Amino acid sequence: MKILAAKKILKVNDQLAAENRAKLDAAGVFGVNLVGSPGAGKTTLLEAIFAQFKDRLRMAVIEGDIAGTIDAQRMETIGVPVLQINTEGACHLDASMIGSAIGEMDLKALDLLVVENVGNLVCTAGYDLGERLRIIVLSTSEGDDKAIKYPAIFQGSDALFITKMDLAPYLNFDVARITADMKRLAPHAPIFLVSAQTGDGIAEAAQWLAEKIRSKKSSMD
Ligand code: MG
Ligand code: ZN
């Protein structure tokens, strides 16, 4: 019985996610669901990528956190409009939360909406939010074995951003190992090696994302 209930919740979520996607498409907004563990460097990565997009794309962020507004404050500091969702204990965002959030936003004024999900490699995998791309962020400090241990979240992602590459030499992080795992789990997904500290790889990653947004837009015109 519990399995049926869980399936029903996910089915409702999928319907709401499809509505969110339709709403974003109609307004010409490209949605990104950014997932990864606590401390993977999701917010820092966003700051670095947004710096590349400044004056070129109109961006906004939805920050999902169990509590607090620390990441949202960081977005305000760099001048990116932000809406905070506090899940009050829930360990992931779902499509109904995103539906409420986008109802509060002026979508016509945006090109890109990034949802920074709650830091969690487990149940975020099961909840489509209505995004066009899901990007998983993995830091070198978490270890190169995570795709084997949490396959679902890697499998369903459209790109892998490996952060804190400047620390890789000290952590025995094996890029070849995770690359091989990704080839098996998500062969279509590109892998970007980045460091927000040194700036390495940031321009390439931003370029790839900008190209995705541009090709989506031109397919809608
Ligand atoms: Mg964050
Ligand atoms: Zn959860």
Q: Which ligand lies nearest the alpha carbon of 84?
A: 1
191: left (phi over 0), alpha (psi -120 to 50) or beta: beta
Determine the average pLDDT of the residues in 57-85.
97
Q: Which ligand lies nearest the alpha carbon of 126?
A: 2
pLDDT tens, residue by residue, 105-133: 999 999 999 999 999 999 999 999 999 99
Sheet of 159-163, strand order: 82-86, 59-65, 112-116, 30-36, 133-139, 159-163, 191-193
Q: How many A from CA of 20 to the centre of ligand 2?
A: 20
Q: How many A from CA of 33 to the centre of ligand 1?
A: 13
- The pLDDT value given to residue 1: 62
Q: How many A from CA of 220 to the centre of ligand 2?
A: 33
Q: How many A from CA of 68 to the centre of ligand 1?
A: 11
Q: How many A from CA of 136 to the centre of ligand 1?
A: 13
Q: How many A from CA of 41 to the centre of ligand 1?
A: 7
6: pLDDT confidence band, cut at 50, 70 and 90?
confident
